Chains A and B, each alone.
Chain A
Amino acid sequence: MSLLLFILLPLLAIFLMPFYRAYLHYVSTVLSMALFGLALTCKAALPLVERVAVDLPLAITFELSSVSWLLVTLFTLSMSLFSLYHLRFSSNKALFVGTNMLLVGVIGLVLSRDIFNIYIFFEISSISAYLLTSLNQDAKAYGGAIRYMIIGAFASLFFLLSIMLIYLTIGVLDLQMIAQRFNLIDEQVQYLILLSLFIALGIKTELFGLNFWVPDVYQASRSAVSGLFSAMLSKSYLFLLFHLAYLLHVSTSQMAFLTLVAALTFAVAEFSALKSRETKRIFAFSTLGQIGLIALALSYGDTALTEAALFLIIVHALAKLMLFLALDLLERRLGSTKSEIFARFESLFLMAVFTVGALSLLGIPPFAGFAAKLSLLKGLAGLEAYGAMALILTVSLIEAAYLFRLLSGFRQGEQKMVVTLSPLERLIFGVMMFALLLLGLMPQPLLALCQEAAQAMLGGYHAAL
């Protein structure tokens, strides 16, 4: 089985678009489900390495390790759910191109083992994200897309600068070869490369102090698209940031700096969510907060914490995609995403969806978020990182305050609009709720996969330190 299929099939589907212009939503669904199936079949053959074109050091190499497999499976699953949700809407060219390009970009980011190839997929995912942000074609959408492009272009420049410095000093582009020779180059150049990579990927990962327009971008995008950004885009960059950090064996003091930035992201984002009254913006801040939390866990470079972080990545992606899709449904029916809409609709099923999603984010048993936060706290306790534990517990209270405030809207209002869901919508949301419950009750199988992935991700990081 060729890993190139994950890249080529969506691209081919885009190029052949004129032949099935009226059936794009069906093609997208079949394609993403086929890729999800393909990802599942790859599990038995891990790790898979594929070299394209020529030999090293010029070869383009793709690698499907335990960790990239976990992420590719998550991305194709998220895309399948997104496409299934869009089945009842009419065929949309821009949405088809944007989402499939985004899928190519994020899969390429986690599969590539070549820094320049990563740059190509970095740009592919960025361009598709700009396109998807502007889908509504109004001033708000274009304003959000332009802001996103400006901050994205900044990230792109610094990523390019780091690649150039790497090639000028090391002379190769293959990640493994870079990792082997990185410590041999001048220390000041090392710092410059790491700083450029931190700026580029910190902006893309949406870390505090680097990307201040994220909530605006989420707010300007369609709710369902924001769900894709939260489930796929931010997760792929987060993986890339720490994958490179572990590969280049960054020092403990540099990792401590990342811990600080991650903790700030977590705290500031959750506090900001508290004062917002716009649901999409609240979910955007919540995403930022969770990214901070995941980055905090990854910054310790510890196997148990990396395992917990990977588990949280999956659980958060599922919960946030579900919440954003449910919000999209409400936005289409009620024409708004202000928090007051929770008092304006009547649907027991949708209320259950929002409640399950919020409880999972908070880490309330028996939902998956609880298992994720519990393993994270256990990992921190193992390292005696009591400050981080206190921060997580304190900030979780703030998270509870704004999420319960949102949910309390259900009890308010008198003249409510009855919102009915189609059988397919009930099936999609039902499957997602069931998955969050099942992963909460029986987290062990997924935790075992995350443990394997964590070991693959950390590689020889500890030994090198």
Chain B
Amino acid sequence: MFDSLHPLITMISLAIFGVALLGVLVKKNLFKIFLAFSVAESALFLFFIGNHYTPGLKAPIAADGITRFDPAFMVDPLPQAMILTTIVIGIAVSALGLSMVIRYYKLTGHMRIDKMDELGEEQ
């Protein structure tokens, strides 16, 4: 059963990634575009963490009897640390992006990417 786990996780996460990328390309609302980016990022997290998960091994946390780094009993801790870092960065970027969308909306009255023409004839 577990032999098919990693390919299944890969297929599901890459399908979500593809749908989210499609969302980025076809959606016109800036809020939805940033939301699609978050979904795409989460799909990558699922892909990476899922592929490093091995049934039967413990989480790499200094508890539940784990006292030292031993790959025979726990999953690789590096992907988890990487994803935690990436989540923090992703939240920061999303927060900055959405705050800019709000400011842009207050100044222009819309948040549609196809109506962004503030450079006008200056181009």
Chain A residues in contact with chain B, CB under 8 A?
Answer: 58, 116, 119-120, 123, 126-127, 130-131, 134, 137-140, 142-143, 145-147, 149-150, 153-154, 156-157, 160-161, 163-164, 167-168, 173, 215-216, 219-220, 276, 278, 281, 338
Assuming the contacts A154-B24, A157-B40, A220-B119, asked whether A146 and B101 have C-beta atoms less than 8 A apart, the reply is: yes
Give the docked Cα–Cα distance between A207 and B63 (Å). 49
Q: Which 4 A-B pairs have the closest CB atoms?
A: A142-B104, A139-B107, A139-B118, A143-B118
Q: Which chain A positions have C-beta within 8 A of B119?
A: 140, 143, 216, 219-220
Q: Does B72 contact A (CB under 8 A)?
A: no
Shortest distance between the CB of B122 and any CB in chain A (Å): 5
CB nearest to A152 among chain B residues? B93
User: Looking at the complex, which one of B85, B97, B123 makes contact with A153 (CB distance below 8 Å)?
Assistant: B97
Give the docked Cα–Cα distance between A83 and B18 (Å). 44
Chain B residues in contact with chain A, CB under 8 A?
Answer: 21, 24, 30, 33-34, 37, 40-41, 44, 47-48, 51-52, 78-79, 82, 85-86, 89, 92-93, 96-97, 100-101, 103-104, 107-108, 113, 116, 118-119, 122-123
Known: A58-B78, A219-B119. 14 other contacts (CB 8 A): A140-B118, A142-B103, A143-B119, A146-B101, A147-B116, A150-B33, A153-B97, A157-B40, A161-B44, A163-B82, A164-B44, A164-B47, A278-B123, A281-B123
Beta-carbon contact of B96 and A130 below 8 Å = yes
Q: Which chain A positions have C-beta within 8 A of B24?
A: 150, 154
Give the docked Cα–Cα distance between A150 and B116 (Å). 13
Beta-carbon contact of B37 and A153 below 8 Å = yes
Shortest distance between the CB of B93 and any CB in chain A (Å): 6
CB nearest to A143 among chain B residues? B118
User: Looking at the complex, which one of A119, A149, A168, A338 makes contact with B122 (CB distance below 8 Å)?
Assistant: A338
Beta-carbon contact of A164 and B48 below 8 Å = yes
Shortest distance between the CB of B70 and any CB in chain A (Å): 15
Beta-carbon contact of A149 and B93 below 8 Å = yes
Beta-carbon contact of A156 and B93 below 8 Å = yes
Beta-carbon contact of B116 and A123 below 8 Å = no
Beta-carbon contact of B48 and A146 below 8 Å = no
Beta-carbon contact of A120 and B89 below 8 Å = yes
Beta-carbon contact of A127 and B37 below 8 Å = no
Among B24, B101, B119, the one with the most A-chain Cβ atoms within 10 Å of its Cβ is B119
User: Looking at the complex, which one of B41, B92, B104 makes contact with A157 (CB distance below 8 Å)?
Assistant: B41
30 contacts between A and B (CB under 8 A): A120-B85, A120-B89, A123-B89, A123-B93, A126-B93, A127-B93, A130-B100, A131-B96, A137-B103, A139-B108, A139-B118, A140-B118, A142-B104, A143-B104, A143-B108, A146-B30, A150-B37, A150-B113, A153-B34, A156-B93, A157-B44, A164-B44, A164-B47, A168-B51, A168-B52, A173-B78, A216-B119, A216-B123, A219-B119, A281-B123
Q: Which chain B positions have C-beta within 8 A of A130?
A: 96-97, 100
Give the docked Cα–Cα distance between A53 and B33 (Å). 38
Shortest distance between the CB of A120 and any CB in chain B (Å): 7
CB nearest to A119 among chain B residues? B86
Q: Which chain B positions have C-beta within 8 A of A142?
A: 100, 103-104, 107
Give the docked Cα–Cα distance between A116 and B86 (Å). 10
CB nearest to B25 among chain A residues? A154
Q: Which chain B positions have C-beta within 8 A of A156?
A: 93
Shortest distance between the CB of B103 and any CB in chain A (Å): 5
Give the docked Cα–Cα distance between A246 and B34 (Å). 34
Give the docked Cα–Cα distance between A149 and B47 (Å). 24
Give the docked Cα–Cα distance between A161 and B33 (Å). 19
CB nearest to B47 among chain A residues? A164
Q: Which chain A positions have C-beta within 8 A of B34?
A: 149, 153
CB nearest to B111 among chain A residues? A146
Give the docked Cα–Cα distance between A131 and B85 (Å). 21
Q: Which chain A positions have C-beta within 8 A of B92?
A: 127
Shortest distance between the CB of A26 and any CB in chain B (Å): 28
Beta-carbon contact of A153 and B93 below 8 Å = yes
Beta-carbon contact of B79 and A167 below 8 Å = yes
Give the docked Cα–Cα distance between A167 and B85 (Å). 16
User: Looking at the complex, which one of A157, A161, A216 makes contact with B37 (CB distance below 8 Å)?
Assistant: A157
Q: Which chain B positions have C-beta within 8 A of A143?
A: 104, 108, 116, 118-119
Beta-carbon contact of B104 and A146 below 8 Å = yes
Beta-carbon contact of A149 and B104 below 8 Å = no
Q: Which chain A positions have C-beta within 8 A of B33?
A: 150
CB nearest to B97 among chain A residues? A149
